[in-house]
Structures are given as C-alpha cells and as structure tokens.
Amino acid sequence: MVTWARLSAEQAEATWDAQLLRFAGHSLYQSFPWGQYKRARGWNPHYFQAIANGTVAGMLQALVRAYPLGAAVVWCPGGPVGALELCSRQSMRQLTSLLRARAVYCRSSFFRAKTAEEGRYLESNGWSRPVRTLGANVTAVWNLNQSEDQLLAGLNRNWRYSLRQAQKSDLRVEQLVDPPIDELAALCRAMNASKGVPAPVRNSEIAALFEALEHRIFVYGCRNPRGELVAFHSCGIHGQRAWELLAATSPEGRRTGASFAALWTLVQHCRRLNVTHYDLAGIDPANAPGVADFKRWTGAEEVEWLGEWQWSTFAAFRHVIDLVARNRSTAALP
C-alpha cells in the first residue's frame, strides 16, 4: 500500500534534491530549484513523497495553479519518479484530496522509455493523450562517458567540419559566468522572429531561470571580432546529467558555425564536472528539421519517451482544456 505524504517548502528545500537523486528517473525538472523558477512564473510547487513500508518509494513535484470553484490545473514535468503504479486511479484521487481541490486537471510528461505496456496501464487508470503536447516526446541523449577523441569520432562529418571551421575562425568562445541577460534575451527574440516563432522571450524570465538554478546552470557563448554575441548554449545540471536549456544563434552565427563551437565547449565543461549524459532537450524533425539534424549529428542516441499524458477528476474538465489547446496557435496550459 502506497500513501502520498506532503512536504512543506522548508522540508523540501532541505532534503528534496538529495532524495530525488536516488531514483533512476530523476530530472532537473523535478528538482527543487526548477520548482522555484516555475514559482516565479505563476505556478505553486507542491512536494509529495510516496511512502511504502516506511520508505520513500516515489516523489512528485506538482506545479499547481488554482482557479475559482475549487478547480486546479497541475503540471508535472518529468514526474512522478518511481514506479508507474504511482499514477493509478486511486493514487491520483489521493493527490487530489491532498491538494484540497474539487476538480483537477493534471498533465505529466514521463521521462521514461516508451512501452506499449505502460501506455495501456495509464489508459486503464483514466489517463489519455492530450490533443497538443507542450514539448517533444522524442529527445537525443549524448553519452559523455567517453574520451574527447571518441566524442569527436562519433560526430557526423558535417558537424565535425562545422566545428573545426568555427575553431579556426576569429570567433571567441567564452563561459558567460555573469550572464548578460539583455544580450541572451535579445538573441533569443531575434532568432524566434527570423523563424516566425510567436513565443515571446522576456528578460525577466531568463533572469528568474538563472536566479533559481544558480550554480547549476552554465552558459557558453561565441562572440565575433566586434564583440557581439552570435550564439550561445546553456544547460542545467542535476546529479551526473545535464539538460539543454536556452540556446540561440544569429544568422552570422549560423554562417560561421558558432553554435557548434559553443555547444562543444559547453559539453567539455560538463565532462569536467563528471556529467555522463547530456539531454539535448527534444527533437522535432517535422517542425524543426534543421535543429533535429544538429542534435542527431552529435552522435546522441534518440530516445522516445512515454511522453505527455493527462488525467482529470471529471471528463468535462479535460475536454475544456483540450478545446482551449486545440484553438491556440501554440500548445500551452492555461
């Protein structure tokens, strides 16, 4: 018998991440600092431990937004960690009770390899696939537990050529220890505009990300001879794994291969910190083939996750969320 127990924010701050690392499926997105970053963006993180026979059998950081009439929307990126049985109908009802909500819509992105058996289990317990997903269900994971020569040999020849050309150029690759928020945000906005991506990038959001992750986030950028930032890559580290976060490249950066040099140098930094795997944060060949090739050509292994699923106390609540998502230009929770 598994019972969910709630932790206070103070308890979670003291113990959460150390316990999270005990689980093979841990991720940056279930870490305490990530919850604090999301708090700055309007979500309220709740911390739960699944207790079985007196031991912690699973963990869940649930990001919650409360609405009138006792309704709540819950977003669980990367969680819960532990056995999939933590997502049983009975378990979800217990979590609903702990949230003191009358109606709950929950969406979770499961960072575990996709299997038909686990998909059937979720369906049998009231879960379903959402109309639109918030992220890609396929990613590329780069194994860094090898020598630099082996990593170079694993690169696609086009990737290796672009890297060498960038390294021979007059680009300057540097760690951005005190990140220039304005420059990073401006480069992200310019790149999105050039691709026709409507998603806004606010300086305050990037500042909140760096403030929350503190010593867990690393950024490397490339500057041209005029000192202008033309590309950067950043990642967050949790345990011995890293996850790609923000990245952007200008047209000049694309012509000069700056993005290749920035990512390669960041990866070498991660290796020095004993990071063994680097998650390149999703690939979407249909909508972003160039980005997908950039990530695949590193030699990273493609992994298809169990992905995003949704659950609700009432079917009507789920249908409303689906309707909203279907009529938005980009997938997003309310």
Domains of the chain: 3-137+306-326 (3.40.630.30), 146-275 (3.40.630.30)
Q: What are phi and psi of 178, to 5 degrees?
A: -110, 85
* pLDDT for 177: 92
* pLDDT for 200: 75
- Span of 22-36, 127-141, 153-167, 291-305 with lowest mean pLDDT: 127-141
- Segment 24-52 shows an average pLDDT of 96
* pLDDT for 133: 87
> β-strand 44-52 against 55-67: which pairing, if any?
antiparallel
pLDDT surpassing 70 at residue 333: no
Task: Give the DSSP H or E segment for 245.
Answer: strand 241-249
CA distance 328 to 334: 10
pLDDT surpassing 90 at residue 287: no
Rounded to the nearest integer, the mean pLDDT of the chain is 94
Q: List the one residue out of 231, 219, 221 whose CA is nearest residue 187.
A: 231
- Would you state the structure tokens that stand for residue 137, as one six-digit string? 């269900």
The predicted model scores a pTM of 0.93
